[in-house]
Structure 1
Amino acid sequence: MRQRQHEAVPTPRADVQAQAQRWVVKIGSSLLTNDGTGLDLAWIARWMEQIRHLHRAGKEVVLVSSGAVSAGTALLGWSQRPGDLASRQAAASVGQSALIHHYEKILQQVARPEDPPLHCGQVLLTHDELRNRKRYLNARNILRVLLDRNVLPVVNENDAISYRPIQLGDNDTLAAMVCNLLDADLLVLLTDQDGLFSADPRRDPDACFLAEVTAGDPRLEAIAGGGGSGVGTGGMLAKVKAAARAARSGTATVIAHGRHPDILPELVEGKAIGTFFRVRRPVLKARKRWLSDHLRVPGSLILDDGAVRALREKGRSLLSVGVLRVEGEFHRGDLVACRAQDGREIARGLIDLDASVMRRILGHSRAELEQDPTIADSVV
């Protein structure tokens, strides 16, 4: 397994980009489509040429692609992107097949005679796949096999079957989760903006461009604040959060304008285009990344002060005696959040007991619990 250690002195940006071996490139809906309806095939051809360039340079590339709903909207003859979930799912079902067809066709059209075979492989994910440990590992194995076989994985959320309570939400988040799956070296988020500014440049003429920042810096979320283009689901805030999420596996991030000429080849050359998010935080181990990547948990345990200290300072298992309250519904083996009494999340872990059992044992002493062989004293 590829594992990176946290570096005390960050590697210069140019070196990170040039040396990055495994790339995750996300292209947003606002770039892929013509005003949200139909696909911009001319620009898709340019990006496929650039991905071919990366492959010639010996890089591995995973493409995270939006655009299925917009493509389906055009094919179904609708004048605008549908607002209700069922219609969006129908559009995604129609549009996803068109999207992967065009990627494969154009990828072959832009090939040079000396290029080795390179094909697209479609990978559609949902939150269910990524929150279940076995499915998560299976998704990782599939992506690794595709890369090993010189295939370009084209990843998207499975919008046709995802429903709002379990949706990943946006492909910026999905791209970051793919980075954590694969220990990617570089995440490139291509958008319709030049990068991150100190304020929204569309509203504030004094906004300053931020060329290099630190992933996970809490000030960045306040800066990113505003919404997106109106075509996709992710704005600049989602991209800043994605950079912080990707940093958990040591992945640096670039947010750049996708229609900058030869954006990907120039990044390989180490050029300073867009905003670079350096990594200056400890790299989480693979299992902890999986735990932290869960966007939603079915329930929470509210802890007393002693249990909070034990988790924070000693990393011990959580004992039932330290639980004050149970929120939500969950079953043994589910991931739950451990929270302080003020609601702050302290930790996450896999629960050993159903929520119904947890509620039954609250307020009982350890001696009383030991009389019941069906109850584990250590719950997380």
Structure 2
Amino acid sequence: MRTVVVLGSTGSIGTQAADVITRNPGQFSVVGLAAGGGRVERFARQILDLTPAVVAVAAEAAAGPLADAVAAEAARRGLRPGQWNTPKILSGAAGVEEVAAHPADVVLNGVTGALGLTSTLAALRAGSTLALANKESLIVGGELVKREARPGQIVPVDSEHSALAQALRGERRADVRRLVLTATGGPFRGRTRDQLAEVTVAEALAHPTWSMGPVISVNSATLVNKGLEVIEAHLLFDVDYDDITVMVHPQSAIHSMVEFTDGATMAQVSPPDMRLPIALGLSWPERVPGAARTFDWTAAQTWELSPLDDEAFPAVSLARRAGRAGGSAPAVYNAANEVCVDEFLAGRLPFLAIVDTVAEVVAEERDSSVSALEDVLAADAWARARAREIIAREQYGRRG
């Protein structure tokens, strides 16, 4: 039985991971959970369902309400004091980092955004296998993360990178010619740049295939998410940026492909269900039977693949430039985008200005050297401040 820590347990990845774990009680045992603290009732239910030894909430003020919610949920289930295991409750960033370092076979990092970096480093230093759903921590941390990881210690959970890892399993790196990442194209696939000028928040959140949180949904609409995935693929698999291609594939059936030097291309294909890469991340290299649904191979299937429109969606080419620059440039790309997405969701920034602002911040970044965590944090802070300055300068105002 594998012992597991789940970070970001109340989010989309975390709740699906909890489902995989509860459906396989003889395979996984949860020893730690961490969440932001905004959904204490859901977190309380997870604590009683999964019985971890230690939990943490990033919001320090949520620790007391969480303890109350656990007691209330236990009472609702008819349990009396002493009839359930009361975990150690930690709070704040240090508490989440302590849970990430808790002894476990696997740490699933499903924290959203750059905040996941310290947890990624803590899990790697503790020697756990890192099931990485928080791509931003690898992108922001770059070589810092790679230096901490022993070979095979990071297992990708993004569906695209999980697909690549599956296709590459047992293959020689020298035989790989190209990685092909697929993208749904988001809710605005086929639109020109001019047609994106009046996009609303509601439209950006209406992803045609995946059910995700607001930040990831907006990143998918701008294709910043795919740009981040290009950088992630380079860092995970040591493939040059010139040899990583993005193809638009609306059906989300082909999750990514590997082209080999002899002309063969290997694709990983499955219905769009994150439980498959999550289960693989938790059990790698073994598979979890029944982790996700399968295709009906008695029915006709039609799948499309088309090139990405870089003019309408420049986020991927911008990510390539940041990735090639290396050092702190990917951290700047990510940090500026996180600020812009928050401003867009708050109605203070138009849709097209998200990537335009990120591009301006990346163009201004000069000191790209990174030798320690402090360098990454400084670049992250500078990029966030500069993005806010640009947005304030433009005076976009509140939008619908």
Which structure shows the bigger proportion of residues in helix conformation?
A: 2
Query: Which structure is richer in relative contact order (CA contacts within 8 A, separation 6 or more)?
Result: 1
Q: Give yes or no for TM over 0.5.
A: no
TM-score by length of 2: 0.32
Bigger CA radius of gyration:
1
TM-score by length of 1: 0.33
